[in-house]
Structures are given as structure tokens and as C-alpha cells.
Structure 1
Amino acid sequence: MAGGSFGPTGVAKERAEQYQGKVTSYVIIACLVAAIGLSSPSSSSSLESKNLKWVLFTGGVTSMDEFLDQFFHTVFEKKKQAHESNYCKYDNQGLAAFTSSLYLAGLVSTLAASPITRNYGRRASIVCGGVSFLIGAALNAGAVNLAMLLAGRILLGVGIGFGNQAVPLYLSEVAPTHLRGGLNMMFQLATTLGIFTANMVNYGTQQLKPWGWRLSLGLAAFPALLMTLGGIFLPETPNSLVERGLKERGRRVLEKLRGTKNVDAELRDMVDASELANSIKHPFRNILQKQHRPQLVMAICMPMFQILTGINSILFYAPVLFQTMGLGGNASLYSSALTGAVLVLSTLISIALVDRLGRRALLISGGVQMIICQAIVSVILGVKFGDNQELSKGYSIVVVIFICLFVVAFGWSWGPLGWTIPSEIFPLETRSAGQSITVAVNLLFTFFIAQAFLSMLCAFKFGIFLFFAGWVSVMTIFVYFLLPETKGVPIEEMTLLWKKHWFWKKVLPATNHEAESNNNSSI
């Protein structure tokens, strides 16, 4: 291979300064269509998670009496009992299983999506996810029994697995280096817009009795249709085309994306990376090797921490939480719609600042604010909110304000960056496998939280917020000491970053060049 000295993964060093191009309308349109059209399945990202965009329709549906009466009658009866503890009215394993089944299906499907994404391209996974999501939305809207409802829910999970596997990779590979963070966050912006829209739809459809919940669930087919069409008509990423041997086609797409014919340096990096990637027959086995240890740790810890912020619990169960605190049905859905709007605005802040301030500054500042907000909410609920009493109107407003401030902090930090960072740090040979691990870990922990949250709320009561605040403290310390700044680093040269980090350079094996230098110095 020509073109300079090579790093640990075979990609040429210090070629990024030779990259040419500008931000073109072509790349903006591709990123917007990908992010907005693919907003339906990429839920746990941000809610989760992150979290669930359009699947969050079910978050509001679980507080609708007609839905509960038909499918979870025990919860419906418990909800009406005045003597039942405020924290335990929704504690039902059947309801929790309905919620968490989506994430388990997504976890399994994202592992299947990895070879499809690598061998057939990012668009193939996008189309698979969109079709699955369409069918799932139709089954949910027409459900006449719990089995049909669960089948639809599982298909939604398959759509999430495929979409979350492919969309962040697509955005990271299409975006130019200096704007990769902001454009990648189009994914999160679509997520937050979906959450806000879902909350508003829930607020409106709850008035349409007794079939409003069906409309709420069925409308998820609209973004799923956008996702499918986006997967069909969007261009494939140049990285994927080069990896599959379509170098000239990849060059043409790259020229359109960058608005220049002078793409030799960036294309050379892609070719070098693809040659190494194609020599790796077992990417999941390769990713366990020592030279990929930092990326593997981030692929596990970033999505795990994203879920352990508690954002899924707050956003997904927002109507339940606000009803638990004594707000009426209309007020609870209105308050959860407010948190959705706040999440949209905070994501716009992140898009504006991520490529200026960097990833670390946003993660650390967001972590500190989330800790403070969760502690204050816990104190208010602990002092003013008992098992069988309601919060006063004034304190309810204060709780909603601090939950919104928590959501703001999440929206500019762990929400988008929990996806952005893992999608940009892997070399091409392990990128698809790494993204699968990221999505699988995210969905696994989302499954655990979704399955356990209602029971945890009943057992911990106001302490549930302190539980999550403790985890936010841990993850903020983790970022401070172990996450290097990835702002402005080309995606194909990201592996060089770890060799300069004070901790990871001690973990990584020495390259041949370093070993020779050590031998010469010892002589």
C-alpha cells in the first residue's frame, strides 16, 4: 500500500490535512433524510434510550384507561384504588414485560443486522428495519388480544435493532470530519422530535375514546414508511461501497458529498481501511483483541451509562410518573409533552456546540446538572410526597421544572453523544461489529430498566432518583479520566487518538515501529 506510514490498523497517518471539500447540499439532504426518515426505529438511543421516538406512543398509551382496561385489567383496577401506594399503582410484571419485550427483540436483531450492514451496505439494514417496523405498527394498531399486541411489539423491536445498527454509522460515514458531531446528531434531533410528536399525539388521541390508543399506536407507521423510502432512495456511504469492492462508485458518491473532484486523500484512507477490513473474516472475534480494547470499552460503557442516567424511565414513563405524583390524566400528558419539547431544544444546543466545545465538555457539564436535578427531585418527593398523598400544585410544578432541567442536560450531553462517540471511534474492520455491540448493550440495559423500573419505583420510592444520580456521578468521572476528545479527528484515523491518551497508551500493544525504537534505544 502506498501513501505513507501506517498506524496500528493499517490506515495512513496524518493524511487528514489533505482532505478537501465543503459542506454540500447533497450531504445535508442525505443526513436530514436519513435522520428524520429513520427516526422510527432508532429509539433506544436516546431513551432511549434514549431511548422511544415514535415507539414512545406506547409510553402514553400505558396511562390510557381504555388500553389498560382491555389488555392489563389488573393495573386498571389497581389504578382506581385510593388506598394503593402512589409509587406502586403500575407495578405489574405483565405491563413491564410488554414494555421490555421490544428491547429484547431489538437486542437479538441488532446482532443479525451486523453482517447485513457490513456485507450488503447500510441501506440494506435500513430497509429491513423499516419494513419490520411497518408491520409491527399495523399489528399493534389492530390488536384484539395480548398475543397480537406482543407480536407487533416484537417486530417494532426488530426495526429498532436494524435501524440503530445502521443509522449512526451512515451519518458518521457521510458527514465531513469537521461537522461529523453536529450532523450525526441529526439522528438524535429526529429522536427528540419524535418524542415530542408522540407526546402531543398521545395528548390528542386520549380524547378519542375508546379507540384513541389504536390511532396513537398506528401512527407509528408514518415514520416507518419514511424510513423504508429513505433506505431505498438514499445513496450508500462511500466507506461501505469501497469496503465491498465498488471503489469507483464510492469515489463518485464521495465527490458529490464533498463537492469536489479532489478526494484522493480521503478515498485513500477508505481504501487502506477497507483492505484491512476485508482481511478480517471474524470482526466480532477481532474486536476482542488488545489493540481494540479502548473502543470495546467505550462501546460497552457509553450505551450502558446512557441508559443508567434514568432518562428512559423519566421519558418513557412520564405520563405514569406525573399521574403518580397526583396530576390528572390531561396534566400528566401535557407535562410529558413539555419534557419532549425541552428535549428538542436541548438537542439543538448540542448540535450547535458539539464541534466547537467538544464531546467531553458537554458530557461533563451535562452530568453535573443531571446529578443536581435528580437530587433535588428526590428531596422534594421524599419530604412532601407520601404513599397515599398528592403533591401540592406548587411542588408539582417545581418537580416538573427540575425534571425538564434534567432532560435539558441529557439532551445536550448523553442523549446524542451516547450514540455519536461509539459510531465514530471504530476502525472500518470492526465498525459494524462495534456498532452492534453498542446497540446490543443499549437495548440490554434498556430491557433491564424497563422490566425492573415499575418494581424499583414501588420499592425505592423517591430514592429511585438518587439511584440514577449515583450512576451519573460514576459516568461523569469515567468521562473525565478515560474518554479522549474526538472533536475534529477523521473517522479513519481515530485509532491514533488512543495511542496518545495517558491511560490507553499503557493498555495498547506496541506497534512494530515502537518495538524497533525501544530495541534501538536499549542497544
Structure 2
Amino acid sequence: MADSTGKTDKDVAPQIQATDVQVEKRASDDESAEKGVFEHINLNKNISARIKNPLADLSPAQVLRDVEEFANEHGLVDVLPALKKGALVARDPDHYESVPDMTPEDLTTIDDEVTHKWRQPRRLYFTIILCSIGAAVQGWDQTGSNGANLSFPDALGIPEKDNPNAARNQWLVGVVNAGPYIASACLGCWLSDPVNNYFGRRGAIFGSAVFCFIAPIGSAVCQTWPQLFITRLLLGLGMGLKGSTIPIFCAENTPAAIRGGLVMSWQLWTAFGIFLGFCANLAVKDTGDISWRLQLGSAFIPAVPLLIGVYFCPESPRWYIKKQRIKEAFESLRALRNTELQAARDLYYIYSQIKVEREIAGDGNYVTRFIELFTIPRVRRATLASGTVMLAQQMCGINIVAFYSSTIFEKANATVTEALFASWGFGLVNFLFAFPAIFTIDTYGRRALLIFTFPQMAWTLLAAGFCFYIPTESRAHLACVALFVFLFAAFYSPGEGPVPFTYSAEVFPLSHREVGMSWAVATCLGWAAVLSITFPRMLAVMTPTGAFGFYAALNVTALVMIFLWVPETKQRTLEELDYIFAVPTRIHMRYQAFKVFPWWCQKYILRRNVTLEPLYKFDGVQTRGDNRAVKE
């Protein structure tokens, strides 16, 4: 395709090298013969920290010519008028009113993206909710094993109490509980890249649901602990594939302005699964020897709607674009957006950004893409940030409660029934306090939620540990332990709960999205396995107070890591994040340490009226309604 100077893409390509900023003069041939300046930003080293719209420096005439070629090439001539209007809106999103041929309905549609941003098609909500139900499998299994820990070790010959092999059996119980996370981290997550490549997002989700349906039923009929361990390994294959695919699928289908709020439904359903698992534990607690079998086996239930409904969802438009199936991408966007204009605009904008994104790396094989997670600067920064938030989810200590709350409350002198009811209370708090994140994650941002909640989790966990010093004969002993565990869950659920999977699904370029998400989820579930294996022995050796104090310190460590290494991603399209993660880590760290931290101290401690210079500069990119709000 030739540009306005007559150069072909092959002529221009050698000029685009890995320099900090390059400038190319592009003479437009519209009526006024204006000259535009196209400033190329290196997506591996964005020292200027600018976020750029790839269409902004093209003249309207050039955009219209490019769109016409695009439509002819990909069989979209029948929607060419909508594509032209959509491309011009994408070129200058803050002045969409000046685009020719915009009808009153078109103007209302674009306005509603800010004033009624939750007014979205039913198929979008159906897709997000149905797929996120898959997260309930993981939550339900956590709590199923949590309740089963009170009885399955004795039933399968690995008792932890009054036994000369108690230490060995404590490790075995931890390993059995960790089975799904071991399999997820070692294999399940890494299946995501090849399975997504060949079968698409929906095919990968269907395959994961098959494992999540069969494995819990197998767990319920096991006769020995090795059999139980194997069935839980099979469950891990489904959990890893599901956890690596569903957040990506949801993120790729959702508009930027509400992406966080919808993609975090993954955490909402995980929390709901935890709550339902605790309900199931209570429901079957008096069924005698089969109670643990019912507690583990009931986790198959959330997989049923996923198996049945996933192919009623539109496939990811970005996956179609990656496969050069542009017409199908438009049909998918048409189902996921309110109007044809929005679908056409998003299609061409995504397509244009992905063309720029391809300068980061080509289409290498699976092994090459994995190596590039650590060698390509832009991708490496996403790898660091996603790994940080995923690791922090385990460092905060939530899973010592989700996996072992019944055991913890039992050590607080609770009966079996009291321990299960206290665990049920934890599950309820965890679920209810996930809802605020739906409305705050895209308003305050991912970083703000994390930085606020980690200090709160640290002190509540420390307080819960010190409550074990209250004499056990006092009724306040169990009550205080439960209170601070509930407060811990209340701070976790709107912060570190929804952010890691939402964040990791956003930050990688399309070329590395599957393998990048595999890395992130493997990091999370791999450390979950370590936690599950070690915590029974940690409780025995360090006492609950020592164990809780240890995780309180890890919360502080995680806070520092997030402050320095995790950039904000709210309200940016997935392709615009390429510019954010092109900013070198040292520049981001320097800005946080020497500008953000002193500003915060002066504003909130010394109470001074000071302003903070933003790190990122927006060049021709809509600021997601901020400008429009000012105009109104």
C-alpha cells in the first residue's frame, strides 16, 4: 500500500528502526495540501512516555484511501461507509462531531460510551458472565478441599494427629491439596498457547471445561490418596487452561472504558465459587464418611453451563484479526458492540494498532515466543508486571485462608461445625466485597486499588495472628480471630482479588498474549502450590501467630514491588498499552520513587496543595471521556 508520498510499505519499513523517536514527513494531498508529521515511537524504548494514535498524523483523505483499500482487500465493501466514518472517528476521537455524514443517532452512540458506558449489548454480558462462571470451579475446589481436610486424611490413611508419621502426613496432605496447582503451573497453563492457536478462545475454554467437569467426579470416588492426587492433577490441567484463556477472551471482547469492571467478573465468580463451596461443606457436614467425597465432588457443577454455552458466545475479534480473518472479526465486533459504526471503528483502530505492534516481534514459534517474554524489552516489562501482581496474590496470604480456614479456626478452639460456619462467613465476606471493584477498577485504576489494600491486609493479618494469644477458654479468642480474618478478606476482595487476572490479560501484545498469560497464571498457581504444600507444616512449626506474621511481612514486600514495577492500565485499549510498556522500567521506577512518593507525602501527610506531573503524554489519543466531560 502506498502512502501519500508514493512510497510503498517496503520503502518505508527500512526507515523504521529501533531508535528512540523518528520523524517522517507525510505530505497529504487533500484540498488544502497540508503537511502532517508522523512521529514514530519505538515500542521497545518509549523514552518520551507518549501514547500515540497511529491514525492521528494521517490526513482525512489518506485515512479514507487506506480504509478503501482495507475494505477491498478483506471483502468489507458492503460496510465501507461505516468503516470510513468509524476510521475518521478513531483518527480524532475528541472531535467526532466534525466527521462528515454523522447522523444524530451516531452522535448519541458515541456520547453514550461516556455517559452510559454500561449500556452494552446483551451478548457481551452473556459472554463475560458465562465464561467467568468457569472461575467458580477453582473457588469451589479450594473450599471443597478446605472442608475435606478435616476428614479425608483419616479416611485415606494419612492422619495428621496422634500419629508417629504426623510430619510426613502433613506434607502429604499439602501435596494432595496442591495437586491442581502443580499441574496447572507445570502443564495446564502452558497448553494455552498451542490450544488457542489451533482451536481459538472458545475451543480452549470448552476443552478446559471437560477436565473441570470430569476430575471432581473422579475425586469423589477415590479409594487411596495417590488416586486422589492424580484426579486433582487432571483438574489442574483444566484449571490452568481455563485460567490462561478466559481472562484474555473477556479482555479482548470488552470496550476499554469498562474492561476492568467486566474482566474482574473472573474474580467475582471465583469468590462466589468459594462461597458456594463453603455452603456445600455445611450442607453435607453430617453425611458421615462420605462428607469429604461430596465436598470435593460437588466442584463439577460450575463446569456444566460452561460446557453447554461457550459456543453461543462470539469468538474474540482480535483472535480473528491475528488469523487474518478480518470479515469474521467484524461480525464478532458487530455482536459485541451496540452499532455498526462502533464495530467498524474498533475493527479499523485495532487493525491499525496491531500493524504498528508487529514491529515488536514477528510470528515466531511457541518456544521462540516464550524466550521473547524475557528478551524483547516491551514484552519483558509486561512479564515483570504481570508476574509481580500474580506473585503478590500468593504473598498476601489469601490462600492460606481459602485452603486452610477450617484448620485455622479449629486451631482457634472451634468445633468442626463452628470452623465450617466461620469459614462460610469468610466466603461470604470475600464474595460481597468483590462487588465494589466492578465500579472502582476503571475509575481509580488497578494500581490505586493495590496500593490501598496491601497495607490494610498486612495489619489485619498481623492482628489475626496476635489474637491467638487470647486465652483459648475465652469466647473472644475465636471471635477476634474470625473478625480480623473477615476484615482481611474484605480488603483483599476489591483490590488484590480482581486485579491480577484482569491486569495480566491486558498487558501483553497480541503476538505474545497467550504465552504471556500462561506465564502469569503459572506464576500464580505455581506459588499457590508452594503455599498449599508448606502451610500445614508451617502451622505446626511456627504456630498460627508466626505464620500470619510471616505473611503480613510479605504483604509489605509485595506493596513495594507493585509500587515500583506495575504501570497503570485503566481505560486504555489493549493496543495503546504497547506504548505504556515501551517506557523503560528504570524511568517508571524513577518517576514513582522521586516524584510520586514525595508528592504523596506532601499531599497526604503534610497536607500541602501540590500537583503531580503525569508520566504519560497522550498524543492524538482520546482520554476516555475526560475531554468530553470538560466540554460538556
Find out whether 1:492 has 2:575 as its counterpart.
yes
Aligned amino acid, residue 179 of structure 2: S
Cα 1:403–1:260 shift into 2, 3 Å: same
Q: Deviations for 1:230-264, whole angstroms, at most 9, x for unmatched residues?
A: 33332211111111222111111102211111233
- Conserved in 2, the CA contact under 8 Å of 1:5 and 1:12? no
Alignment of 1:1-12 (within 5 A): 7-8=41-42
Larger radius of gyration: 2
Q: Note the C-alpha offset of 1:473.
A: 0.6
Aligned amino acid, residue 395 of structure 1: H
Q: Give the aligned CA root-mean-square deviation in angstroms.
A: 2.6
**Corresponding residue number in structure 1 for 2:128:** 31
Alignment of 1:427-506 (within 5 A): 427-461=509-543, 462-499=545-582, 503-504=586-587
Aligned amino acid, residue 377 of structure 1: A
- Conserved in 1, the CA contact under 8 Å of 2:565 and 2:588? no
* More divergent stretch after superposition (272-281 vs 135-144): 272-281
Q: Note the C-alpha offset of 1:272.
A: 4.1
**Aligned equivalents of 2:2, 2:179: Cα separation in 1:** 50
**Corresponding residue number in structure 1 for 2:467:** 380
Cα 1:414–1:283 shift into 2, 3 Å: same
Cα 1:17–1:440 shift into 2, 3 Å: farther
Find out whether 1:96 has 2:174 as its counterpart.
yes
Find out whether 1:370 has 2:453 as its counterpart.
no
Q: Decide which of 353, 359, 363 is 1:279's aligned counterpart.
A: 363
Q: Note the C-alpha offset of 1:208.
A: 1.2
**Aligned equivalents of 1:229, 1:497: Cα separation in 2:** 39
**Aligned equivalents of 2:480, 2:584: Cα separation in 1:** 42
Q: Decide which of 419, 430, 445 is 1:358's aligned counterpart.
A: 445
**Corresponding residue number in structure 1 for 2:67:** none
Find out whether 1:416 has 2:498 as its counterpart.
yes
Aligned amino acid, residue 398 of structure 1: C
**Aligned equivalents of 2:564, 2:462: Cα separation in 1:** 24
Aligned amino acid, residue 271 of structure 1: Y
Alignment of 1:111-260 (within 5 A): 111-260=190-339
Percent of aligned pairs sharing the same letter: 24
Find out whether 1:321 has 2:408 as its counterpart.
yes
- Conserved in 2, the CA contact under 8 Å of 1:91 and 1:455? no
**Corresponding residue number in structure 1 for 2:417:** 330
Q: Note the C-alpha offset of 1:8.
A: 4.1
Structure number with greater CO (CA < 8 Å, separation at least 6) is 1
Q: Note the C-alpha offset of 1:164.
A: 0.3
Cα 1:270–1:6 shift into 2, 3 Å: farther
**Aligned equivalents of 2:500, 2:315: Cα separation in 1:** 24
- Conserved in 2, the CA contact under 8 Å of 1:119 and 1:244? no
**Aligned equivalents of 1:295, 1:444: Cα separation in 2:** 19
Q: Deviations for 1:273-308, whole angstroms, at most 9, x for unmatched residues?
A: 555376344321222222322101012211111111
**Normalised by the size of structure 1, how large is the TM-score?**
0.86
Aligned amino acid, residue 557 of structure 2: V
Cα 1:120–1:8 shift into 2, 3 Å: farther
Unaligned runs of 5+ in 1: 44-51, 508-523
Q: Note the C-alpha offset of 1:68.
A: 2.8
**Normalised by the size of structure 2, how large is the TM-score?**
0.72
Aligned amino acid, residue 426 of structure 1: F
Cα 1:472–1:17 shift into 2, 3 Å: farther
**Aligned equivalents of 1:124, 1:6: Cα separation in 2:** 37
Question: Which structure 1 residue ranges, 4+ long, deviate > 6 Å from structure 2?
Answer: 1-5, 88-91
* Aligned residues between the structures: 483
**Corresponding residue number in structure 2 for 1:267:** 347
Cα 1:417–1:33 shift into 2, 3 Å: same
Q: Note the C-alpha offset of 1:471.
A: 1.2
Alignment of 1:399-410 (within 5 A): 399-410=481-492
**Aligned equivalents of 1:309, 1:16: Cα separation in 2:** 43
